[in-house]
Structure 1
Amino acid sequence: MQPLLEIQDLRVSFHVRGGEVQAVRGIEFHVQPGEAVAIVGESGCGKSVTAQAIMRLLPQPPARIHQGTIRFQGKDLLRLKEREMQSIRGKDIGMIFQDPMTSLNPTMTIGRQITEVLNKHQHMSASEAKRRAIEMLEMVGIPHPASRFSQYPHEFSGGMRQRAMIAMALACRPALLIADEPTTALDVTIQAQILRVLKSLQREFGTSIILITHDLGIVADLCDRVLVMYAGQIVETGTKREIFKHPQHPYTRGLLRSLPRIDRSKDEPLVPIYGTPPDLAKPPAGCPFWARCSDSMHICQQLQPESTAVSGTHSASCWLLHPMAREVAK
């Protein structure tokens, strides 16, 4: 099956006063039609930069896309003119941003912000756009959608604002939805509601989803595959079962060990990942995780590990997977 989205050797940097920060360093992945893929990793690893590069929302300068391709439905988005890209944003690719309060326009009603997308991409009349917007508000679970249509963002709660963002992102039935931390700062009850909305909309419309998150619990509930990012690179990829049950990269194992779990013994302590990520203005020559890895070897400091296939769907970039590497406890 032809991938809906395919990214190859994407490299993005930011030119700042102190030099050049290499935020994304040669990542490659794909998303199939109807698939939900998670991108996980700690803050600053390049998750949101990747999403904004797909949407072509990075200001240039200071950002610069050095090389790579982003193919969506066969088109390389990096080669399109801005006018062509505007016809794709919101229509074929929708995006839910981290903070709906700063993403929504405080001077416009919620209804107007949704109908604006429909007017631009679907060329609907005012009455048709209003009807579709109210349907979308009802679909994402906002009570009394007809009256809420005329309200402003400050009149909505945090969870309702996020639902309004989802309604706006899905108004044109996009083929791909990028959800950048869609449940950040929401309580667990609202998080569960947002996840139910995303899953039901994925089933109804067949929408592919890229979920960017820190919360591995959300990943287990919603996604099919997981990409683990660290220091601007994808260090492990696999199905959610492979990542949760048989993690191969020390960073992935560290993430899972540092999470509280209901099946963990009360006497079993959480194990943090000690140290800090590398400075991406001066990235290390070898594995970016070697300084924080208890199993690092001399070669880890010198050479970047290549991606090693563990199965047909599971791979990791770690020298411990090399046939000549020593055995370590996992």
Structure 2
Amino acid sequence: MQQTTPLLEVQNLQVSFKVRDGEVQAVRDVSFHVHAGEAVAIVGESGCGKSVTAQSIMRLLPTPPSFVKNGKLLFKGRDLLRLKEKEMQSIRGKEIGMIFQDPMTSLNPTMTVGKQIAEVLRRHQKVGLHQAKQQAIEMLQLVGIPNAASRYAQYPHEFSGGMRQRAMIAIALACQPALLIADEPTTALDVTIQAQILCVMKDLQHKFNTSIILITHDLGIVADLCDRVIVMYAGKIVETGTKWEIFKNPQHPYTRGLLRSLPRLDQAKDEPLVAIHGTPPDLLKPPAGCGFFARCEHAMQICKEVEPNPTALSESHISRCWKLHPLAKEVVV
């Protein structure tokens, strides 16, 4: 990507939740950027902070129990954390769209799908009822829903799972936002429908020059859709780079573990998948050093005691691991 001013800059974001037993440090000093027209994936297992990061950008987390301890969310130069709720309402849907994980719980069951798309258009573009309806039908056609005019008047329960997800994409992109956040958009869909949804997202990204933040644990989707990859673990970014750098030359043991756990076409039938043993750390009491220490086969004593600094492997490839230190022994992969 050409080095222009990023559309979105997340700077040193820290998000916690107050619970009975203390403070869950869900996101711990996360920084990244997204350029216009770029697709960036945030990957990692459940509980690593992916969705909390995404919902923080949209300011959708309930307060309390959540609170932002530190950081900035610069979108087109404006810090979203400093905006009033009314100002955020003018950004949500218009400038930043979001596709949620489960469309059945995200769509309003009492409103027709068409009216839910038209509502976004009428709110943000100030168009009349007839024009909003026509634009909503066009959006349904764009996301590949057949007989869009008749589908406009149907309710979410009358749509299949894949069609509901297409409808969510239509709502999110109705106002042609500059940034689309997709939180596990293909979860619970079969592989054929997943491929169709990804194709729709890629086509619309190119049509509208929309930037995408894709939250997922499916690295196959990442390889197909995204330009860059951010790997999160225990609320922190442990590695980031282009998709080719992450897939061809992963440097953090956690990233390698994720890739080893995936089935490959060149893999022998009797060759077992390699799981990452153990569980993530308790973020009520985060470890002082590397969060992956207890599960890492290459762990050293310093990994337990001191958090590793980021090591730049190229202009775009950065990893946090003590094994990358010049004094560490070489790791044989």
Q: Bin the TM-score by the shorter chain.
A: over 0.9
Report how far residue 266 of structure 1 moved.
2.5
Alignment of 1:188-267 (within 5 A): 188-267=191-270
Alignment of 1:283-302 (within 5 A): 283-302=286-305
Alignment of 1:1-330 (within 5 A): 1-330=4-333
Gaps of 5+ in 2: none
Report how far residue 173 of structure 1 moved.
0.2
Report how far residue 124 of structure 1 moved.
0.5
CA distance in 1, matches of 2:165, 2:311: 39
- SS for the counterpart of 1:37 is strand
Q: Deviations over 1:260-290 (max 9, x none)?
A: 1112222432110000000000000000000
Specify the code of the residue in structure 2 equivalent to 1:36: A
- SS for the counterpart of 1:169 is helix
Report how far residue 298 of structure 1 moved.
0.5
Specify the code of the residue in structure 2 equivalent to 1:89: R
- SS for the counterpart of 2:91 is coil
CA distance in 2, matches of 1:260, 1:230: 21
Q: Deviations over 1:159-218 (max 9, x none)?
A: 000000000000000000000000000000100000000000011110000000111000
Report how far residue 23 of structure 1 moved.
0.2
CA distance in 2, matches of 1:297, 1:104: 49
Report how far residue 239 of structure 1 moved.
0.3
| Number of aligned residues | 330
- SS for the counterpart of 1:87 is helix
Q: Structure 1 runs of 4+ off > 6 angstroms? A: none
Report how far residue 327 of structure 1 moved.
1.0
Q: Deviations over 1:65-97 (max 9, x none)?
A: 011000000100000011111100000000000
CA distance in 2, matches of 1:79, 1:7: 14
CA distance in 1, matches of 2:135, 2:120: 11
Specify the code of the residue in structure 2 equivalent to 1:186: L
Specify the code of the residue in structure 2 equivalent to 1:166: I
Specify the code of the residue in structure 2 equivalent to 1:247: P
Specify the code of the residue in structure 2 equivalent to 1:123: K
CA distance in 2, matches of 1:265, 1:327: 28
Specify the code of the residue in structure 2 equivalent to 1:133: A
Specify the code of the residue in structure 2 equivalent to 1:9: N
CA distance in 2, matches of 1:121, 1:58: 22
CA distance in 2, matches of 1:264, 1:185: 26
Q: Deviations over 1:107-151 (max 9, x none)?
A: 011011111100110000001100000000000000100000000
CA distance in 2, matches of 1:8, 1:72: 11
Cα RMSD after superposing both structures: 0.5
CA distance in 1, matches of 2:131, 2:320: 51
CA distance in 1, matches of 2:293, 2:199: 39
- SS for the counterpart of 2:12 is strand
Specify the code of the residue in structure 2 equivalent to 1:174: P
Specify the code of the residue in structure 1 equivalent to 2:60: L
CA distance in 2, matches of 1:208, 1:51: 14
Report how far residue 18 of structure 1 moved.
1.4
CA distance in 1, matches of 2:220, 2:68: 32
- SS for the counterpart of 2:302 is helix
Aligned identity (percent) is 74
